[in-house]
Structure formats: C-alpha cells, structure tokens
Copies of this chain bind each other. A is one copy, B any other.
Amino acid sequence: MSQLTKPFQVGEHGARPRVVIVGAGFGGLHAALALRHLAVDVTVVDRRNHHTFQPLLYQVALAVLSPADIAQPIRTILRNQANTEVLMDEVNGIDLQARRVWLTSGAQLAYDYLVIATGATHSYFGKDEWARYAPGLKGIEDAIEIRRRVLLAFELAERQMQERGWHPPLNFVVIGGGPTGVELAGAVSDITKLYMRHDFRHIDPSKARVLLFDSGPRVLAAYPEDLSAKAERELFHLGVEVHTKSHVTNVGPGWVEVNDQRIDAAVILWAAGVQASPLGKMLGAPTDKRGCVIVDSDLNPPGLPEVFVLGDLAHFEQDGKQVPGVAQPAMQMGDYVGKAIAADLAHQRRPAFRYFDKGDMATIGRMAAVANVQWPFKAHLSGLPAWLTWMVVHIFFLIGFRNRIAVFSQWVWNYFMFTRSARLITGDQNLPGWQDQVNAGPAKEEDVRAAEVR
C-alpha cells in the first residue's frame, strides 16, 4: 500500500520538475519513455552510451548475433523525445537532503525526482578473484570476452593437436543453473555440435563436453518442477551434462573444484550469483542481503517519495513473493514511474504498483525452450512450441531497435544455415597467460624441443 496519505507535491519553485534517471536498462529506459508527454525535464544518466537488450546477450557471447544487433545508443532511442536529454556519466554519490547526485566528472545534478535503475551484477560470493577465470555475462563487453574465450579455446586445441598430436580436454563449464546458465549451456552445446563441425581438420568440436553445475536440487529453481525436469531432459538431449547439488568450492586457472573434486576446464562461465548495484546502499535505506532496496507499493524506499528504485535493484514483494529480477517487471516498473509522476502533477493520489506476470521463459539451444506462460492463458510449454513462443516474444520486444527485421533475418539465416558471421575474435588474440600455461599440459618434453609439424 502507498505510504502517502495525501498527493505528493514537488516544485515549490514553480519550475518544471526535474527527473534524473540513473541507468538506461529496461527499467530506466521505460521510465524515460513513460515521461515523454509530461511537463517534466528528464535527464538519463548512464555510464555506457548504449542500452542492451539483455535477454539476447548470450547470443552475442556465442557468436550468433553481433553486439550492434542487440545494443542501441541511448541517444538514438530518445533522440525525438524533446523533454529528455542523455548524459554519459556515472553517479557516485547522492545527497538526499539537497536533492542532488554527484557525477564522476565532478559535477552535480539537481533533481526533484530521482529514479534509480542501475540493476545488478554477478556476485562471486566474496571470491572476487574467481572473476578472472570465470567471467559472467552482464554487458556487451562481457559477451565479447566470453566469445573470445570460447572461440580461442577451439583455435588453441586445433593448434595443439596439429603441433603435438594432443590437446587437453575441451571442457566448457557453466556454473549456475538459472535461466542464464541454462541458455549459455545450450548455446555452447550448439556451437560445438552444429556450427563448428566443418571448420577444423584436427579436432572434432562435437567431442567437446559441456558441463552445467548448480548447487540446488534442480535447474531453473524459480520455475515449476515439471518445467525444470523438462529443461534437464532437453539439456540432456543436447549433450549437456547437468550436475545438480554440485557446489563449486574453488575456481582457478583452467579448472574448477566441484564438491572438492577438480575438473579441467577450457572455458568457465559464471552464471551463479547476483548482487545489487552499489547505488542502492548509498540511499541509506533498508536493503535485502543482496543489496536490493526494499520498496513499497509506490516503488519508493521508506520516507523518500521523490525517489523511485526499479528493476533488478528493487526488492518488491507482491502476494508474499518477491518479484523476480528479469525484464518484464523492470519495464512495468518504468511505466509505473510515469503514472506516479503524472498523478503527482495532477495533485491526485498515486496508484499502487502491481506486477502483471505474463510468465517466464528460457531457451535451451537451437529449437527448444521452456515457458511458464501466465498470460493470455496459463500453460507450461516446452520443446519447439516454447521455443517458437520465445522467438516471437523476443523479436516483438526488441523495441527501439529499428533493425529488428535485419536482426530477425540474420537470426533465421544463422539458425538454418549453421553459419556464424559474428564469429570474430577481437581484442587480445592470446589466451590469458595462465591458460596457455595450463593447456601446455603434461607433455613437458614436447614443449622443450620445437615439435615438428606433419
């Protein structure tokens, strides 16, 4: 229930209220769009110049799509919205009394309303040193780095095979069995089984192993049990080895320890923990253990009606359950900010926010998915029907992406032609030092004499 007993009023100064939105993910961007026709001045602050369509990020990581297919400059999305400007900067402090945010450039930005939608990042449960060996997937840079590691692993194995007639096991390890982990594991399996099959002469990419570890009793723990079971079956059909109740106890250069047993790994991907953006803590408001700000039905922290916290950064409970940190709630929360501020401007009581759950879905490789549909009908879908649903929904929601049709045709082409035009290795062309070292493997003598080839 709303904490406000009377309509909230801003702008004693008579000027148009100033709305500062921090973060241009789904929440922040939808808040900006929802304020389009209101008599307010909006500033969107983001440290990146682009909005990322996160649900398809794993497709960039596995070289199906290019970064520009799923990322769009924030300026371009909002270019025709006259009351809105975009500032590429980072907020590193909030003065709730003076109603100002500090920027890393040294300047300050005054606000009447503050919308914080800076999301979350991966958590290594205090073991930040694992990040180097097991990158997570949150932004475009992460996706490019994962793509680089996956593609280089094949190149290295081919080289070792040609030069030494031997290469260490080509194990791809995914840690975490949530939607991201499941999608990554399925997509890695696809790349090994389908897309790479004619590209190498000395190795057989389809012999690569994909291992998915989750500490819980089943994958997709937030889904109904029957869909978890179906997801596991679909992963099994793709050749992914799913290991539940498997605690990752250590991660190092080229290996993971699962339940204290060491497993070689050519590439390790982290899809396990989530922690909130540090901006939540700066508010001084109550947070949950992941750092998410606990908000009321106005999406305000207690006693701060001019501050909205949205998306992954918000801890919002409805009907006794926490709303999940995915795209749908973030978008709806963004839309709600528009309604709440419009109510304030009209001197009316704000409506309470309510999350309308249309369902959840996760793809599992090229032609399968699971979907827990809540609207317009209730259903548990799996296999191809779920995948087709996923496809339609995701194409439809590539909003603000003018090249939607181009992306779609690229996609269809890649899916059916098994080509990967996006399969580029950019940046450092070498594997991290430790990996070359590790993968040099047991054959010490071979390293010393320059092995002749052929």
Contacts and interface: CB of A to CB of B under 8 A. Distances in A.
Interface of A: 18, 47-50, 66-69, 71-73, 75-76, 79-80, 85, 87-89, 100, 102-103, 105-110, 140-141, 144, 151, 155, 158-159, 162-164, 198-202, 401-403, 406, 409-410, 413, 417, 419-427, 429, 447, 450-454
Contacts of A421: 68-69, 72, 401-403, 406
A187 to B, nearest CB: 17
Contacts of A162: 85, 87
Contact of A413 (B66, B100, B108, B403): B403
A411 to B, nearest CB: 11
A73 B103 CA distance: 41
A297 to B, nearest CB: 31
B425 A48 contact: yes
A73 B420 contact: yes
Given A50-B424, A424-B71, A450 B108 contact: yes
Q: Which 4 A-B pairs have the closest CB atoms?
A: A107-B163, A75-B199, A85-B201, A88-B155
A49 B79 contact: no
Nearest to A197: B79
23 contacts: A47-B429, A49-B151, A50-B424, A66-B67, A68-B424, A69-B421, A71-B424, A75-B199, A76-B423, A85-B201, A87-B158, A87-B162, A88-B159, A105-B159, A106-B451, A107-B163, A107-B451, A141-B426, A141-B427, A402-B419, A406-B410, A406-B421, A427-B427
The dominant DSSP class at the A interface is: mixed
Contacts of A144: 426
Given A87-B159, A110-B454, 13 more contacts: A47-B429, A49-B151, A49-B424, A72-B421, A73-B199, A75-B199, A79-B198, A80-B198, A87-B158, A88-B159, A140-B424, A402-B421, A406-B413
Contacts of A108: 450-453
A75 B152 CA distance: 13
Contacts of A402: 413, 417, 419, 421
A252 to B, nearest CB: 23
A227 to B, nearest CB: 34
A18 B69 CA distance: 41
Contacts of A110: 452-454
A453 B109 contact: yes
Max chain B CB contacts within 10 Å: which of A85, A105, A108, A162?
A105
Contact of A73 (B109, B423, B427): B423
A164 B103 CA distance: 13
Contact of A79 (B89, B155, B199): B199
A49 B69 CA distance: 21
Contact of A76 (B140, B199, B425, B453): B199
B409 A406 contact: yes
Given A66-B67, A105-B163, A108-B452, A50 B425 contact: yes
Nearest to A155: B88
Nearest to A78: B199
A119 B49 CA distance: 35
Given A162-B87, A426-B140, A419 B109 contact: no
Max chain B CB contacts within 10 Å: which of A108, A151, A424?
A424
A155 B108 CA distance: 17
A102 to B, nearest CB: 7
Contacts of A200: 75
B406 A49 contact: no
A447 to B, nearest CB: 7
A80 B409 CA distance: 24
Contacts of A48: 425, 429
Nearest to A402: B419
A98 to B, nearest CB: 10
Contacts of A417: 402
Nearest to A144: B426
A73 to B, nearest CB: 5
Contacts of A88: 155, 158-159, 429
